[in-house]
């Protein structure tokens, strides 16, 4: 049996159309079991359009800062490897020169120069880490939080290269043995993924403030930047604030009162 070129194309084309049409017909006629699944939110959940934070350095002392950092790291099972090479950090103290490079000067106040500034992920409105992530493991939520989906992270570390704030840490080693006391309610990470501050999305979902804010005795103000009546907006109205490397166009959501 011979078949002409023309006949072959006809049959191939018809098969493709029937095949593809058949698949989509099955999908349309038989939707998945979860298509109609009902979901809802905790009625107590804090809902915002763009979460942000103000760090009031006038109100911070070193003791409070340590408490805030420890609260965060304890709740989120952040390991302590005891060496700076493997260090994992979500929120940490930084000198003025490192936090705001280019803004320091030879004659600036020594007190400010040596003050530890509390830095964390800036939850940028235009996050460069999200742009480079090849698997969408890091993405921006509708409420402005730059989220990490650990299930998808492949550990390529593009996001770490893209983040101008060094807010991301890579798990070079299995973190489990280095967690002092495990919080059973929150997962740990595994070797080979990148982690960072997620603005306590899991606490916001049940109506709690971020852990660092709770421990900060009012030195950290958390709220919705998009809501003109929020406390954070009133603080931003009343004070002169600066942001870290805002000239890069990342639109950070963390503001500093010096």
Partner 1 sequence: MYDGWKVIIGIIIFLGIATFPILYDLGKAAPPPPEPKIDTPEIQKMAEKKCVEPKSFMKTEHMVLLDNWRDWYVREGRSIYVAGDGKEYNISLCNTCMKCHSNKKEFCDKCHNYAAVKPYCWDCHIEPKEGGQT
Asked if residue 39 binds partner 1 (CB under 8 A), the reply is yes
Give the SS3 label for residue 10. Answer: helix
Which part of the chain contacts partner 1 (CB under 8 A), choosing from 49-57, 78-86, 184-192, 241-249? 184-192
Asked if residue 142 binds partner 1 (CB under 8 A), the reply is yes
Asked if residue 205 binds partner 1 (CB under 8 A), the reply is yes
Q: How far is the CB of 75 from partner 1 (least distance, A)?
A: 13
Smaller CB distance to partner 1: residue 168 or 189?
A: 189
Q: How far is CA 183 from CA 79, 206, 238, in A?
A: 12, 17, 38
- Interaction residues for partner 1, span 71-110 (CB under 8 A): 77
Nearest to residue 244, comparing CAs of 166, 173, 131?
166
Asked if residue 201 binds partner 1 (CB under 8 A), the reply is yes
What whole-number distance in Å separates Cα of residue 207 and Cα of residue 227? 18
Residue choice 76, 79, 133, 143 for contact with partner 1 (CB under 8 A):
143
Q: Which residues of 59-79 are buried (b: 16+ CB within 10 A; e: fewer)?
A: ebeeebbebbbebbbbbbbbb
Smaller CB distance to partner 1: residue 81 or 246?
A: 81
What whole-number distance in Å separates Cα of residue 60 and Cα of residue 219? 6
What whole-number distance in Å separates Cα of residue 117 and Cα of residue 256? 9
Write out the two tokens for 106.
């030879």
Task: Name the phi and psi angles at 28, rounded to 5.
Answer: -70, -40
Smaller CB distance to partner 1: residue 145 or 211?
A: 145
- Interaction residues for partner 1, span 3-32 (CB under 8 A): none
Asked if residue 169 binds partner 1 (CB under 8 A), the reply is no
Binding footprint of partner 1, residue count (CB under 8 A) = 28
Asked if residue 154 binds partner 1 (CB under 8 A), the reply is no
Structure-token match 């503001």, residue found: 255
Query: What DSSP state is assigned to residue 174?
Result: -
Smaller CB distance to partner 1: residue 62 or 182?
A: 182
Task: Name the phi and psi angles at 93, rounded to 5.
Answer: -85, 145
Residues forming contacts to partner 1 in the complex (CB under 8 A) are 33-34, 37-42, 45, 77, 139, 141-143, 147, 149-151, 182, 184-185, 187-190, 201, 205-206
């Amino acid at each position: 049996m011979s078949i002409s070129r023309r006949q072959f194309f006809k049959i191939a084309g018809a098969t493709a159309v029937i095949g593809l049409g058949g698949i989509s017909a099955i999908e349309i006629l038989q939707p998945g079991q979860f298509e109609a699944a009902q979901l809802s939110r905790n009625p107590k959940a804090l809902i915002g359009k763009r979460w942000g934070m103000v760090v009031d350095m006038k109100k911070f002392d070193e003791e409070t800062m340590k408490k805030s950092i420890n609260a965060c790291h304890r709740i989120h099972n952040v390991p302590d490897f005891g060496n700076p090479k493997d260090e994992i950090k979500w929120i940490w103290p930084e000198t003025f020169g490192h936090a705001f490079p280019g803004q320091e000067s030879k004659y600036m106040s020594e007190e400010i120069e040596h003050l530890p500034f509390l830095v964390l992920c800036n939850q940028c409105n235009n996050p460069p880490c999200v742009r480079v992530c090849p698997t969408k493991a890091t993405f921006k939520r509708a409420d402005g939080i730059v989220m990490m989906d650990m299930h998808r992270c492949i550990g390529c570390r593009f996001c770490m290269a893209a983040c101008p704030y060094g807010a991301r840490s890579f798990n070079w080693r299995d973190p489990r043995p280095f967690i002092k006391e495990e919080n059973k309610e929150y997962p740990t990470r595994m070797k080979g993924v990148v982690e960072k501050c997620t603005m306590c999305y899991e606490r916001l979902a049940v109506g709690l403030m971020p852990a660092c804010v709770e421990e900060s005795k009012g030195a950290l103000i958390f709220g919705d930047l998009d809501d003109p009546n929020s406390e954070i907006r009133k603080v931003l109205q009343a004070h002169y604030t600066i942001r870290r490397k805002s000239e890069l166009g990342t639109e950070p959501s963390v503001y500093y009162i010096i």
